[in-house]
Amino acid sequence: MHHDLERLLEGFDDAKTWSGGEFDDARRWSYGDVENNGVFYHPNLTHYAHQVFEEVFFRERGIHYADLSGRDEQHMKARKGHNPPIARMTFPVQWLHQWMGEAMHANDSIKMWIDAVQVAEKRVGVRAWVYNESNELAAVVIWLRWARKLEPVEQTVAIPEWFLASRRQ
């Protein structure tokens, strides 16, 4: 796993300051998101990061993330209508890493963008870069994911090319 983390942290020093370009999400921390001493409530950080990931995934891939593994007719129709059609699958998290480098306080605004890094044929890292009001890198959430096809037989498969984000690789 050590080599995976090294690969996933590539570009970290270059990303320390938001450059004023595109960002995928902007929001404010609520009182319940951070302690009064500026420490993130880490489950909310992960939750917000995944929400942004799902929005970016839909914009870039044309399918909702939930449609990948859903069983009902709506999800099946979305997978069959995708180009290319997608088999029912999931992308389980193998491990998650959070780096929190700057204090955040209730009502502070944050900006977040998402990218993906191919780590190996069967592993991809999804990274959420979180910037504070001063445009400094405040946190990074990294998920190491693998791909699991669910039908017709469950099996681990290579990360599909369509999964990877086209930006910031």
Domains of the chain in sequence order: 2-163 (3.10.129.10)
The amino acid at residue 8 is L
Report the pLDDT value the prediction gives residue 166, as an integer from 0 to 100. Answer: 53
Averaged pLDDT, groups of 10, the chain, 169 residues long: 70 75 80 79 90 91 95 96 93 92 88 89 92 91 94 92 63
Report the pLDDT value the prediction gives residue 72, as an integer from 0 to 100. Answer: 96
Report the pLDDT value the prediction gives residue 120, as an integer from 0 to 100. Answer: 87
Beta bridge partners of 144: 95, 125
Report the pLDDT value the prediction gives residue 3, as an integer from 0 to 100. Answer: 61
pTM more than 0.85: yes
Q: Rounded distance, CA 42 to CA 90, Å?
A: 24
Report the pLDDT value the prediction gives residue 29, as an integer from 0 to 100. Answer: 87
| Token code pair at residue 84 | 């290319």
Q: What is the DSSP letter of 159?
A: P
Q: Rounded distance, CA 67 to CA 6, Å?
A: 32
Average pLDDT, the chain: 87
Q: Rounded distance, CA 60 to CA 146, Å?
A: 19
Q: Rounded distance, CA 45 to CA 102, Å?
A: 13
